[in-house]
Chain A
Amino acid sequence: SQELEQSPQSLIVQEGKNLTINCTSSKTLYGLYWYKQKYGEGLIFLMMLQKGGEEKSHEKITAKLDEKKQQSSLHITASQPSHAGIYLCGADGYETSGSRLTFGEGTQLTVNP
């Protein structure tokens, strides 16, 4: 089965700083999803990447997919307290595309004002 490893597990940054969260897969990535979660609440969709080399941005968040390295990175520029939360990467397999996602353990982000 596919496993996803996220690093770091937790991150504390000062407001305005840039940061990067990584997600590494044990298998080939076909679909890679990034979600954000507030503790005890549902997941908010951030981005979906499907092709190697693909890069997407939304406001100050950019995600990239390196298919060869079986890795994705999420980069936040000029972080704000509103970026705080748990960031989760999820992936599906070639034969199970769609709803059956495997998730990483998550990265807890704290942004100090």
Chain B
Amino acid sequence: NAGVTQTPKFRVLKTGQSMTLLCAQDMNHEYMYWYRQDPGMGLRLIHYSVGEGTTAKGEVPDGYNVSRLKKQNFLLGLESAAPSQTSVYFCASKSGDRADEQYFGPGTRLTVT
């Protein structure tokens, strides 16, 4: 089991460019989440999904879009990157609504110049 994997690990973008971050899990988990973590701050929820084909907004969704076309994958898109989106992005998954533990991927470090 690879657990939760994220692609890419690092990326530098110019302002206005677009990109997609990929999260994949091989644990057959229903729920998946995208977070961002800025220096000296806790993780903040961007978007989440409770199952294939469903998505919902979290605390800081502006500037991001997501898709969950397959149960194992959760994509995070930045249509027009801004320097304020420089952050570390973590994906997580858990098995169902009664499960407590979320399993995190290793993170993607994104810099927008």
A and B assemble together:
no
A residues contacting B by CB (< 8 A) are none
B residues contacting A by CB (< 8 A) are none
